[in-house]
Copies of this chain bind each other. A is one copy, B any other.
Amino acid sequence: MKITLEDIIQSIYLLPEQVLKEVLGHFQHLEYPKNYFLLKAGKPCKHLWFMTKGAVRYFYINDQGKEKNTWFSLDTQIIADTSSFVKQEPSEESIQLVEDSEMYSIEHAALQSLLQKHHSFAIWYIKLVELHYVSQIEDRVADLQFLDAKQRYQKLLNQYPDITNRVSLGNIASYLNITQETLSRIRAGKL
């Protein structure tokens, strides 16, 4: 039983039939291969994506020119560089697929006009932002502040039990903010 775009939208907040129809009309169905860039740093994030299958990583390039992952989204997730999306300013991070993925996208401009047009859609978007952007990222801050590398790894495994088969050790280490050597040692139970 596959998750439809309609399911995702309605699970956030129930929209009136008419509005839902109109909203659905603004989404585009997409399939991209592994390694494809949804967003490259420097460009404004013009879309909001609803992934139905696949995996992505978010990353920055730091001062020393090294990539640093900030986030993973696997399977059914909403994807965007929130900060760039809401301000329509150049993004500081890139978003790249780490698996062949399927998703639906809506453009920023279309979203804005729907927000102005339909009060119910504005309420829907408030729920989306509150639950998806805010809660997720607050968790992340708490993790970074309070958990050490090993605890953060265990929490990630808890959230995505199959992540080790889907994302490389180097990419996971980068997200955990540790080196891949350290993650390798944690896995081996040596730390």
Contacts and interface: CB of A to CB of B under 8 A. Distances in A.
Interface stretch (A34-42, A142-150, A182-190): A142-150
Say whether chain A's binding surface is mostly helix, strand, loop, or mixed: helix
B83 A135 contact: yes
Interface string A78-89: 000011001100
Given A83-B134, A122-B123, A130-B86, A144 B141 contact: yes
A131 interface: yes
A22 to B, nearest CB: 16
Contacts of A133: 129, 133-134
A144 B142 contact: no
Contacts of A119: 119, 122
Nearest to A71: B141
A70 B141 CA distance: 8
Contacts of A130: 86-87, 129
Contact of A92 (B82, B87, B142, B177): B142
Interface of A: 60, 62-63, 68, 70, 82-83, 86-87, 92, 115-116, 119, 122-123, 125-126, 129-131, 133-135, 137-138, 140-142, 144-146, 177
